[in-house]
Amino acid sequence: MNKRILIVDDSSFARSMLTEIFIKHGYDVVGEASSGSEALEKYGQLKPDLVTMDIAMPGLDGIMAIKEIIHSFPEARVVVISSIHSKEIVKKALLAGAFDYVIKPFTKERLLKAIDKALLQG
């Protein structure tokens, strides 16, 4: 059975690009969310194997969304994909429970390595 991914990003372009990459590499994209609060709601409904999370989003940002998801679902695996690359934000995301932090623009290889690593650690 293919691993199921929930993509969270406020950019529809980013979501469709990620969807295309994941489907091409044998993953099932089971849902998309454009905000942290929507991500929390969809995680509860879909129970994906992995979540990709943007940081800068309207309302509940990525860091808070990671904390909320991990608090409610300790088994959750989250990989951040963001254009924000300050050391402080990366550290906050990892402390919140993210498995990895992929900086946009990314290579497909870097992205897939992060996804595979997070899924294997589960």
Domain count, the chain: 1
* Predicted TM-score (pTM) of this structure: 0.96
CA 26, CA 96: separation in Å to the nearest integer? Answer: 28
Residues 59-85, mean pLDDT to the nearest whole number:
96
Of 70, 57, 119, 71, the closest CA to residue 98 belongs to: 70
Q: What is the pLDDT of residue 61?
A: 96
CB 60 within 8 A of CB 37: yes
Full domain range(s) for residue 80: 4-120
CB 107 within 8 A of CB 80: no
- Whether 72 has a pLDDT exceeding 70, the answer reads yes
pLDDT band for position 121 (cuts 50, 70, 90) = confident
**CATH number for position 52:** 3.40.50.2300
Q: What is the pLDDT of residue 122?
A: 58
Q: What is the pLDDT of residue 110?
A: 98
86 φψ region: left (φ > 0), alpha (ψ -120 to 50), beta (else) = beta
CA 55, CA 86: separation in Å to the nearest integer? Answer: 11
